[in-house]
Structure formats: C-alpha cells, structure tokens
Chains A and B, each alone.
Chain A
C-alpha cells in the first residue's frame, strides 16, 4: 500500500509537470505580446517592457521562473479585471462551483440509487423499463440542451422558478437538476446491473432460506453489496461534473469558476484561462487519486498494484 501511494504521487507530479509545461509553451506560441495597446508601443518600449518582466531571457529560464511562481501559488494577473491576481478571483468563485457540484452529486446519488434499486428489484416490469428509459435519456441528452429546455419551460414560460442567478434555495433547483440528471442516469444504470448481479448470488438465496424478511434481504444484503461498483464510477462522474459546471453556470449566470472560464475564453484572458486550467488539472488528479485509494479500502478484492490489463 505504502509503495503504491508513493508510486502514484510520483505519477501525479510527472503529470502535473507535463500539464504546466504544456500550458506554458502554448502561451508562448500565441501571437502578439501580453501588453495592452500593443499597437501604440514602439519596438524599443516593448523591448524595455520585456526586459522588465523577464521576457527577454531564454525560454528555459522563463519556464523555471514560471514554475517557481506557481509553487509559491502565484498564477499571474488577469487581463480582464485590471490586474487582479488570478488566485484571488479563483478563490472567490470556487466555493459557488463546489456548492453547485456537490448538490448535483447528491441529487445524482439519491435518485440514481433509487431508480437503480427499483429497476433491479422489479426486473422486466414497467418500473424497470421506465427507469431505464429515463437513464438512457439522461446519459445521452447534453446537459446544456436539458438546461435550456428547463429554463425556458419552468422559468421563461411559466415563471415558476427564477430564470438565473444564484441567490436563494429556489435559484438552485434548475441548475442542480440540469447538472444532476446525467449522474442520476449513470448511477441508475450501474446500480441496476449491480442489483441484478447481486440478487443472483447464492448468499441471497441463503438469506431467504433462513427466513429473513424481504426488506432485510433487500437492504442488508443486496443493496449493500451492490454499492461497491458504484464507488468506482463516482470518481469519473465527479470529473464529468466539472465539465458540466462550465456550461450550466454560463446558462444560469451563476458566478462560479465555470462561468468565469467561458468569459475568459471569449475575452482572451490568457492568464485566467491558464490559471483555471491548472487548478482544474490539480482537482482532477487529486479526485482520481482519492477514488483509486477508496477502491482498495472498500473492496479488498481489488488489487491496488493493478496487474495485467
């Protein structure tokens, strides 16, 4: 276990280094200079500015400085917000996104498990088919299409819920559902398969033969054992949510990191894009790492070293 963790951490560092190098050199490939009003600047002035910011040094030297700044937590300043540090903007907006993502995840888990359990218990009935139709739709329909549909129907047309912004519980409903529908569908599908598998096991028959009540068999034996494969998909799903957050925040004008990111793309705010990218990568890598560790804790059958294929 200890060896595995060390090995994984080394991989994480290498991966992070590759990402930082990629972002750094992509920035250098961009045309133009990082200065405002560059057409008004004479070549001499640009040279002076370059010297001031260390941009006249060879690329490897600049790269070392960039990595050094990064390790100190300095991501540069935003073009768009007149020199506010990128880290400050991220720190301000991250909690909102985390809130949205967490709520969507909870919705996904609660309704996904419920649908999956019902479908698995009532196999080949209307309940099963209904749940699986919902699941296929949820897996397929892009969250931004669903979000628009709900926003139009529930907010614009019928005024039942607020159209946008992030101010009170009512404002959370539409974005949470739009973002959480995909996870509901994915979890429901996996849970159904797991339930069907588990219910065919000998120990379920044994439990029934012993005369345990139906709820006891269902919840103590079937559901608990079916939950193991669910843990394996929660990690990738959290990562998918991070992608979904980008568009959902944009559609509902939620002041989170995803909305900021889309705006930065439109306004060519490169330091902001790079800062968000690096933050996103760190979050991604850490989530995947934690989930991998969790597998081993929950299901001892999984070999952590990951043998052949």
Chain B
C-alpha cells in the first residue's frame, strides 16, 4: 500500500501550524519611512541631482579657488590692467573667451610679454579675477547661508510660539506680523544699511530681518494643524512638558517644510546681496562679493565684457541650481503633493 500510494495525499500528512501570536504584527519587507521615501524620490529627479552636483562644485571652488592662483584678492599690478582671460589649453576653441585676446583681437599677453595665464583675466587695477570671483562667491554664499539660518531660527521660534500657545499670544503676535509684513523689504533693508555701516553684518541682518516672516507663517500653519492631532493630545495627557512636545513632536513633523523653505531662502539671499551691492548699498570694494564684481564689471562692460561675464554666469548658475534643487526637494517631501 505504501509503495502504491506514494502520490496519494492523506490526512495524516498534515499537521497543524503553531500559531505564534508574536509574529502577527510582523510585516514583510522593510518599512519605508518618510525620509528614505523622500530621498528615493529625490534621487530619481535627474535635474535636481545635477543641480545639487553643480552647487557642490561651486561651493568647493569657492573654498579652493582663491588658493589656486598665486595672487590675492587685492594684489594690484597695472601691468596686468584689464588683461583678458587666457587658459592656454583652451585657447584654440574660438567660441570660448579664453584666448587671451581683447575685443580688438589683439593678443594682450604677447603685447605686454606676460607668460603667466590669468584664467579669468584681470580688472582695471590688474587684480586677478579668478581669485576675486571665487572669493566673492565664497562671501556671497557665506552671507546667504548665515542669513537663511537666521531666518530659520527666528521664523521657527516666532511661528512656533505663536501657534503653540495660541489664544491671546497668537492674536497679538499675528497683529505685529501683519504690520511688519506691510512694510516693503526694501525699505527696511535700505534704512538699516544707511544707519549701520555697509558691510557683511549689516547685509546679513537686513536680509534676516525681512526673510523670517514667510517662515514664521508656514510654521504657524503647520503647528496649528499638528497641535490638534491625537498623538499630541496623547503626549499631553501622559504629562509631557511643553518643551518635550515641541522638540519631540512638533519639530520632527515640520522638518520637511523647514528644509524646503530654507532651500528657497538661500537663493533669495544670494540675489538680495548681489542686488544691494549692485546699487551701492552692499559690500564696498576692495572686498569682493558676486554683486560687487558684477557692478565693477558692469562699469567696464562696453570695453571688457569678460569682467562682468564670470561673476554673472556663476550667480546665474547658482540661482538656477538652487531653484531646481528646491523644486525637487518640494516635490519629494511636500506631503500635499503625495498621492
């Protein structure tokens, strides 16, 4: 019988499975959290990744670039005055501006007997523009990052306190905000800079003072929404203190909004610094920032256009990449766009 019924399936071949209650909760496959999901989405966005790479490249050049040339940002030499850019390796590519010839097609390097290549040329005082442009980028980035960080701290604190405590506190803080918001940014910035000496602290303070309002509003909206949710109520019922609820529940849940908004306030600050320097309220020469360099280059535009070209291209690249990367971050992390 055994031999014949090899294929036959009988009852006693089965045995009941052990029901393990502890395994009931187990989910197959690793769970994907909010952050890793967002990053996965971000990595798929090619434009955003390319932008991030370019931003990184510019940041590295801003740090390393000034040390690559042997000239400092204020080393003047009239022999090099208005020297066009030259990179010997690229000199034969005619559509690139690196052939060392001026607008009339004269090879200025040969004429003045200069052996050394100045990659971005020199300005009217013979200062090396390579050093100045990268140093300027460094200063512009520094101003933008510090200003954005200040925006973030003030905005999050103001918006968070206003929404979290609510009631009369919220009412008064919102009325103040409404009046402040009515004052044009430009007015505050100009008054501040006229009263303070134009310089890095004045610019940072001016940008930070006007930039935090947007952040405060977003955070207030988020916190208002969050504080009525069950998990916050549960935490409060369990006796969690205000500071614990804020740091453990409110901040992590608003983090994505904070990061997205900061990503857009950095290019805003870069633009404002350049704008202020361009109208003469920013850094004063010989200090360099992208705005100062664009302004100096603009004065020589008709004769030596390359002097405005390099800072102009770098600021445009930076702003375009920050905007694309910011868009990518928003698409990846903004819960409203999730389906």
B186 surroundings in chain A (CB, below 8 A)? 242-243, 280
A12 surroundings in chain B (CB, below 8 A)? 182
CA–CA, A246 and B190, complex, Å: 13
Shortest Cβ gap from B178 to chain A (Å): 6
A247 surroundings in chain B (CB, below 8 A)? 275, 278-279
Assess A148 versus B312: contact at CB under 8 Å? Given A141-B320, A156-B301.
Answer: yes
* Contact call A145/B315, Cβ cutoff below 8 A: yes
Assess A145 versus B316: contact at CB under 8 Å? Given A136-B324, A251-B298, A309-B224.
Answer: yes
CB < 8 Å neighbour of A11 from B182, B188, B308:
B182
Assess A140 versus B183: contact at CB under 8 Å? Given A151-B301, A273-B190.
Answer: no
Shortest Cβ gap from A30 to chain B (Å): 7
B192 surroundings in chain A (CB, below 8 A)? 26
- B4 within 8 A of partner (CB): no
CA–CA, A166 and B274, complex, Å: 26
CA–CA, A281 and B274, complex, Å: 22
* Contact call B320/A145, Cβ cutoff below 8 A: no
Residues 22 to 62 of chain B near chain A (Cβ within 8 Å): none
- B289 within 8 A of partner (CB): no
B320 surroundings in chain A (CB, below 8 A)? 136-137, 140-141
CB < 8 Å neighbour of B194 from A14, A30, A242, A251:
A30
CA–CA, A270 and B190, complex, Å: 11
Closest chain B residue, CB of each to CB of A156: B302
CA–CA, A288 and B185, complex, Å: 14
* Contact call A140/B179, Cβ cutoff below 8 A: no
Interface of B is mostly: helix
- A253 within 8 A of partner (CB): no
- B221 within 8 A of partner (CB): yes
Choose among B179, B225, B267 the residue with the greatest number of A CB atoms under 10 Å from its CB: B179
- A46 within 8 A of partner (CB): no
Interface size class of B (residues with CB under 8 A): 35 or more
- B68 within 8 A of partner (CB): no
Choose among B221, B271, B278 the residue with the greatest number of A CB atoms under 10 Å from its CB: B278
CA–CA, A239 and B187, complex, Å: 12
Assess A152 versus B221: contact at CB under 8 Å? Given A140-B323, A285-B182.
Answer: no
* Contact call A141/B279, Cβ cutoff below 8 A: no
A126 surroundings in chain B (CB, below 8 A)? none
Assess A309 versus B274: contact at CB under 8 Å? Given A19-B183, A156-B301, A265-B280.
Answer: no
Closest chain B residue, CB of each to CB of A139: B323
* Contact call A265/B187, Cβ cutoff below 8 A: no
A23 surroundings in chain B (CB, below 8 A)? 187, 191
Residues 98 to 114 of chain A near chain B (Cβ within 8 Å): none
Assess A149 versus B323: contact at CB under 8 Å? Given A247-B275, A281-B183.
Answer: no
* Contact call A265/B281, Cβ cutoff below 8 A: yes
* Contact call A280/B280, Cβ cutoff below 8 A: no
- B220 within 8 A of partner (CB): yes
CA–CA, A55 and B225, complex, Å: 53
- B319 within 8 A of partner (CB): yes
CA–CA, A19 and B192, complex, Å: 12
* Contact call B280/A152, Cβ cutoff below 8 A: no
- A15 within 8 A of partner (CB): yes
- B238 within 8 A of partner (CB): no
Shortest Cβ gap from B143 to chain A (Å): 15
Closest chain A residue, CB of each to CB of B323: A140
- B294 within 8 A of partner (CB): yes
CB < 8 Å neighbour of B280 from A30, A239, A266:
A266
B279 surroundings in chain A (CB, below 8 A)? 246-247, 250, 261-262, 265
Assess A142 versus B195: contact at CB under 8 Å? Given A239-B184, A246-B279, A281-B187.
Answer: no
Assess A152 versus B305: contact at CB under 8 Å? Given A137-B320, A309-B220.
Answer: yes
* Contact call B225/A309, Cβ cutoff below 8 A: yes
* Contact call B278/A144, Cβ cutoff below 8 A: yes
* Contact call B301/A152, Cβ cutoff below 8 A: yes
A152 surroundings in chain B (CB, below 8 A)? 301-302, 305, 308
Residues 114 to 167 of chain B near chain A (Cβ within 8 Å): none
CA–CA, A8 and B196, complex, Å: 33
Shortest Cβ gap from A16 to chain B (Å): 8
CA–CA, A31 and B242, complex, Å: 47
CA–CA, A306 and B65, complex, Å: 50
Shortest Cβ gap from A207 to chain B (Å): 25
* Contact call B191/A22, Cβ cutoff below 8 A: yes
A11 surroundings in chain B (CB, below 8 A)? 178-179, 182
Shortest Cβ gap from A116 to chain B (Å): 16
Closest chain B residue, CB of each to CB of A261: B279
CA–CA, A50 and B308, complex, Å: 47
Choose among B184, B187, B301 the residue with the greatest number of A CB atoms under 10 Å from its CB: B184
Q: List 14 A-B contacts (CB under 8 A).
A: A19-B187, A22-B187, A22-B191, A23-B191, A140-B319, A140-B323, A141-B316, A145-B294, A145-B315, A148-B312, A163-B302, A247-B279, A265-B279, A308-B224
11 further contact pairs, Cβ within 8 A, besides A273-B190, A277-B187 = A26-B195, A141-B316, A141-B320, A142-B274, A148-B294, A148-B312, A149-B312, A242-B184, A251-B298, A277-B190, A281-B184
Q: Which 10 A-B pairs have the closest CB atoms?
A: A309-B221, A15-B182, A140-B319, A140-B320, A284-B184, A145-B312, A141-B316, A26-B191, A156-B302, A26-B195
